[in-house]
């Protein structure tokens, strides 16, 4: 095991021994060349290891090897048999299975003639192997080589490089298995953490994209938003990104989601990177979301921490540990982009990929918020993570008519039918409320413009109604008029008919009179009546 | 374990009080069995002691194979190791003592020669 100063070699080695002693019943020998037994005991006590007890129970044997150059004079051929005897004695006395030598570098500093030492170290490695013990030998990192002597990495079976790197003023510890004979090992650098529970390394990337997905849906906490997402909300285990410019209500939507999840009896881990838990809870109370009861019930756990507290990997490791400990069904990171400091976007992307992978394999719904710098186009500013996100909600402020209003759109949502509408929403005292869609010539109508539109619509409706009523009345009147007309015509017709009858009667009478007159005239004129008018004679 | 003890330091014409106090040498030679280096070392140190510190030294030869527990207490790493417990300060001389010059430097007895 090699690495520079302060990268955790001694701790990792000590943890190997302590875990071996406490969990696997494998006693261990710790041969220290740099720290005295007392110092070591004190130092690792901060990790929760009770060395004194283990030493008393003969589970661990601490041996401090003191090498002081000034006291040593070389007078000819020598070997390290003394060390062998000493180690052998220690191993045999407690039946050790594990051995740590920390750091054999000191031997090179303390003893002259590196040539002898190199030969002896080779012998030591072989000897340890013959003894059947697992040995961790720590070594300092050299210039251009893994270890300063350039020897240990070749004679050992497994080489782990520890690294402590600082970028953008935050440091992160990494670990890499350089070689491991007889096994296929992960060759990547893995971040690790040192905290009160010792060292934790993270299985940061799943080797393949093979996680099983759920088709169960979970509510977003906002009914009308559920409706926009195919009526049911997010998929369980999907990753949701809520991005928006400042003050567009990202946290509110996150809180809605948290609230809804807690209501279902699920556990939610809320990682806040810019606000304290009490601040979030106070703010959310103002829109009618009460998170405190969920915290009290143990369903909601806040984890507030500044992004600058640790490096990305450390954060990732912390998330892992929290998730493993709390086993939530949903995780909220608010906001994501506070991690992006300077130009570490690639690092953030890697971290998110790992986190998302982790969440997905665990079927945990991840909800992230992200602040977009106003002015930048959405797609550009989020290009680094957009491809990892399943459901992406975009919140934006819409400036129009001298006011800012909030709009919400579903940018994408994999695997479900989702609304293509930009909806206005209001943050009311009972949560976020989506309004109806009003689309005008210049896009969505919001705020006053929407109210105006609504008023206009109402007015127009009323006008239309009045118009219809007026028309109906008019029609009725026309109808009545027509009917009256028909009646008048009818009367006239009757009149005309009577008249025509009368006229016919008169005509007949006149005709009869005329005929009578003619007959009379014929009679008077002595005409041959029978020849000319036989009918009249018969009549 | 082989032990050879010389008699008490004989008073000598000590140039100073410090010299007088440090004139008695207590030496321990740690060896590993009968390895060639060990045998050489024993032979060499005996010769040096006899010629240089005749009569005012005590030399213990300790075989660590037989007493491995002593290695820890005496902070022995390399073998053979000669430990000078007296006169103080404590000195360690490693190797087979074939380089007499350096043994004498290590034991700080060269000046008396």
Q: Scanning every residue of chain A, which has its alpha carbon at the shortest distance from the alpha carbon of B97?
A: A75
Interface touch B95/A79, C-beta < 8 Å: no
pLDDT value for A335: 80
The one-digit pLDDT tens for each residue of chain B (113 residues) are 444 444 444 444 434 444 444 477 888 888 888 888 888 888 888 888 888 777 788 888 888 888 777 777 777 777 788 888 877 777 788 878 877 877 877 777 655 44
Contact B104, B39 (CB under 8 A): no
Q: How far is A72 from chain B (nearest CA, A)?
A: 5
Query: Which spans in A142-285 are helix H?
Result: 152-155, 223-228, 250-263, 277-285
**What pLDDT, on a 0 to 100 scale, did the predictor assign at position B13?**
40
**Using one digit for the tens of pLDDT, what is the confidence trace for A499-518?**
999 999 988 888 888 888 88
pTM listed for this prediction: 0.61
- A46 φψ region: left (φ > 0), alpha (ψ -120 to 50), beta (else): alpha
Which of B77, B80, B106, B110 has the highest number of chain A CBs within 10 A, making it the mutation to test binding with A?
Answer: B77
| Average pLDDT score, chain B | 72
Residues A529 and A537: beta-carbon distance below 8 Å: yes
Chain B residue nearest residue A66, CA to CA? B75
Q: Which residue has the tokens 């809870």?
A: A281
* A259-277: b (≥16 Cβ within 10 Å) or e: bbbbeeebbbbbbbbbbeb
Task: Express each pLDDT in A374-383 by its tens digit.
Answer: 655 555 555 5
Domain range summary for chain B, segments of one domain joined by +: 2-6+17-112
Gap between the Cα atoms of A441 and A330, Å rounded: 41
What pLDDT does B8 receive?
44
Give Dmax (Cα) for chain B. Answer: 42
Contacts of range A431-435, beta carbons closer than 8 Å, 24 or more positions apart:
A431/A221, A431/A222, A431/A252, A431/A256, A431/A287, A431/A288, A431/A289, A432/A222, A432/A225, A432/A249, A432/A252, A432/A253, A432/A256, A432/A287, A433/A222, A433/A224, A434/A222, A434/A224, A434/A225, A434/A228, A434/A408
Residue segments in chain A with a per-residue pLDDT below the cut of 70: 167-170, 202-210, 340-345, 373-385, 438-446, 527-539
Which one of B75, B79, B90 has the shortest CB-CB distance to A78?
Answer: B79
Label residue A218 exposed, middle or buried (CB < 10 Å: 0-12, 13-18, 19+). Answer: buried
> How far is residue A33 CA from its own chain's centroid?
49
Between CA B6 and CA A5 the distance in angstroms is: 50
Q: Which domains, and CATH codes, for chain A? A: 2-201 (3.40.50.300), 217-445 (3.40.50.300)
Chain A residues within 8 A of B91 when measuring between CB atoms: 71, 73
Phi, psi of A274, deg, nearest 5: -130, -15
Tokens of B38: 């060990």
CA–CA distance, A214 with A227 (Å, rounded to integer): 20
Domain B2-6+17-112 grouped into CATH 3.40.30.10: yes
> CA distances (Å), A129 to each of A2, A17, A102, A420, A494, in order?
19, 17, 17, 67, 136
Contact predicate A160/A178, CB 8 Å? yes
Residues paired with A410 in a beta bridge: A393
In DSSP notation, A361-373 reads HTT-EEEEEEEPP
The predicted structure's pLDDT at residue A212: 76
With an 8 Å Cβ cutoff, are A86 and B30 in contact? Answer: no
Question: How far is A464 from A222, CA to CA, in rounded Å?
Answer: 36
Which chain A residues touch B93 with a CB distance below 8 Å? 72-75
**Which residues does chain A have within 8 Å of residue B102's beta carbon, measured at their own beta carbons?**
73-76
Are the beta carbons of A137 and A152 closer than 8 angstroms? yes
Q: Are the C-beta atoms of residues A1 and A163 closer than 8 Å to each other?
A: no
Q: A252 with A287: CB under 8 angstroms?
A: yes
CA distance B60 to A203: 57
Is A412:A457 a contact under the CB 8 Å cutoff?
no
How many whole angstroms separate alpha carbon A373 and alpha carbon A434? 24
Q: How far is A51 from chain B (nearest CA, A)?
A: 19
Chain-chain contact of A75 with B98 (C-beta, under 8 angstroms): yes
Burial class (CB in 10 A: 0-12, 13-18, 19+), B19: middle
- Cα(A29)–Cα(A14) distance, rounded to whole angstroms? 10
Shortest Cα–Cα distance, A155 to chain B (Å): 21
C-alpha Rg value of chain B to the nearest Å: 14
- The span from the CA of A178 to the CA of A139, in Å, is 14
Specify which residues A342 forms β-bridges with: none
Contact A79 B37 (CB under 8 A): yes
Within 8 A of A86 by CB-CB distance, chain B residues are 68, 71-72, 76-77
Tokens representing A236 are 């369980």
pLDDT at A485: 92
Look at the block and give the residue holding tokens 């955790």.
A8
């Amino acid at each position: 095991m090699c690495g520079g100063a302060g990268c955790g070699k001694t701790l990792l080695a000590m943890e190997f021994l302590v875990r071996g002693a406490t969990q696997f019943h494998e006693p261990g020998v710790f041969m220290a060349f740099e720290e005295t037994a007392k110092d070591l005991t004190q130092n690792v006590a901060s990790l929760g290891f009770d060395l004194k007890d283990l030493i008393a129970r003969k589970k661990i044997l601490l041996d401090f090897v003191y090498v002081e150059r000034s006291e040593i004079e070389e007078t000819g051929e020598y070997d390290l048999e003394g060390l062998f005897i000493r180690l052998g004695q220690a191993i045999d006395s407690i039946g050790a299975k594990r051995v740590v030598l920390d750091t054999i570098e000191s031997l090179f500093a303390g003893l002259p003639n590196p040539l002898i030492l190199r030969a002896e170290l080779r012998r030591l490695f072989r000897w340890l192997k013959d003894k059947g013990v697992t040995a961790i030998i720590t070594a300092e990192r050299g210039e251009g080589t893994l270890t300063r002597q350039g020897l240990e990495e070749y004679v050992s079976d497994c080489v782990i490089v520890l690294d402590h790197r600082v970028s953008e003023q935050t440091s992160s510890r990494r670990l890499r298995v350089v070689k491991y004979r007889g096994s296929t090992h992960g060759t990547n650098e893995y971040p690790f953490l040192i905290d009160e529970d010792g060292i934790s390394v993270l299985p940061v990337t799943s080797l393949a994209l093979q996680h099983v997905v759920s088709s169960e849906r979970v509510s977003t906490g906002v009914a009308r938003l559920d409706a926009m997402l195919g009526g049911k909300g997010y998929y369980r285990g999907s990753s949701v990104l809520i991005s928006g410019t400042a003050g567009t209500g990202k946290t509110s939507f996150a809180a809605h989601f948290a609230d809804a999840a807690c209501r279902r009896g699920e556990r939610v881990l809320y990682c806040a990177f810019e606000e304290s838990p009490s601040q979030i809870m106070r703010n959310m109370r103002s829109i009618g979301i009460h998170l405190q009861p969920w915290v009290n019930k143990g369903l909601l756990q806040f984890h507030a921490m500044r992004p600058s507290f640790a490096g990305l990997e450390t954060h990732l490791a912390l998330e892992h540990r929290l998730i493993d400990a709390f086993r939530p069904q949903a995780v909220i990171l608010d906001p994501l982009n506070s991690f992006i400091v300077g130009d570490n976007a690639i690092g953030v992307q890697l971290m998110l990929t790992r986190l998302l992978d982790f969440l997905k394999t665990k079927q945990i719904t991840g909800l992230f918020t992200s602040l977009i710098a106003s002015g930048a186009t959405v797609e550009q500013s989020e290009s680094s993570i957009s491809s990892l996100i399943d459901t992406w909600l975009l919140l934006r402020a819409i400036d129009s008519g001298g006011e800012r209003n909030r709009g919400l759109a579903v940018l994408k949502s994999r695997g479900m039918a989702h609304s293509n509408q930009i909806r206005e929403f209001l943050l009311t005292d009972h949560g976020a409320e989506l309004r109806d869609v009003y689309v005008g010539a210049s896009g969505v109508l919001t705020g006053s413009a929407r109210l105006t539109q609504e008023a206009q619509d109402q007015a127009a409706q009323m006008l239309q109604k009045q118009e219809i009523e007026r028309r109906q009345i008019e029609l009725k009147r026309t109808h009545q008029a027509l009917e009256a007309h028909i009646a008048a015509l009818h009367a006239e017709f009757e009149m005309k008919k009577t008249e025509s009858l009368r006229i016919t009667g008169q005509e007949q009478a006149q005709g009869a009179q005329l005929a009578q007159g003619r007959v009379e005239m014929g009679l008077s004129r002595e005409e041959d009546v029978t020849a000319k008018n036989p009918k009249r004679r018969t009549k | 374990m082989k032990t050879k003890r010389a008699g008490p330091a004989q008073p000598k014409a000590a140039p100073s009080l410090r010299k007088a106090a440090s004139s008695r040498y207590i030496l321990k030679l740690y060896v590993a069995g009968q390895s060639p280096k060990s045998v050489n070392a024993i032979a060499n140190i005996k010769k040096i002691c006899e010629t240089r510190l005749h009569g005012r030294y005590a030399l213990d030869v300790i075989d660590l194979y037989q007493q491995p527990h002593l290695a820890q207490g005496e902070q022995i790493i390399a073998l053979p190791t000669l430990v000078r417990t007296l006169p103080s300060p404590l000195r360690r001389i490693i190797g087979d003592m074939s380089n007499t010059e350096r043994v004498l430097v290590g034991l700080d007895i060269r000046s008396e020669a």
